[in-house]
Amino acid sequence: MKKRLITAVLGGTAVASLAFASASVLTVHGGTVQAGVASGLSDTDGVKANWGLETDDNTVRSVRISGIAAECAGADMWVKTNTMTSPAKVTLDASGQATVRFSAPYPSPESLDTVRIWIEG
């Protein structure tokens, strides 16, 4: 009985250690969708991509582009991710932001790695 208890405790400790170790080596970079702003997808002027992650089904429903100069308000902006077949056209609001909503089937966070933006003057 004592041997089984020690084996069970050691086995449980090993499994817990593996789970902890695997979580500690996760790599997060701009090529991976994160909750909130993807910092690696910011340019030097402060343009940011903020992903709308739906945690219930692990899909991305939108991307909000922010940090565009306020002078561009009302301009048309084209946004295309690597999962889209064609760019989406949106209009920048007064604060230099716009949101592109994805159509179903929604992309998974793992499938998104690039976003391209064009602004019509």
Whether omega for the bond prior to residue 105 falls within 30 degrees of 0, making it cis, is yes
Q: Is the pLDDT of residue 24 over 60?
A: no
Chain segment 66-89, per-residue pLDDT in tens: 988 888 889 999 999 999 999 999
Return the half-sphere exposure (C-beta side, CA atoms, 13 A cut-off) of residue 61: 7
Residue 58: per-residue pLDDT: 94
How does residue 23 score in pLDDT terms, banded at 50, 70 and 90? very low
- Please report, rounded to a whole number, the percentage of residues in the chain having pLDDT higher than 70: 62
Residues 6+ apart with CB under 8 A from 57: 106
Contact predicate 66/51, CB 8 Å: no
Measured CA angle at 103 (ends 99, 105), to 5 deg: 135
Chain segment 27-59, per-residue pLDDT in tens: 233 444 544 444 444 455 678 889 999 999 999
Q: pTM for this one?
A: 0.63
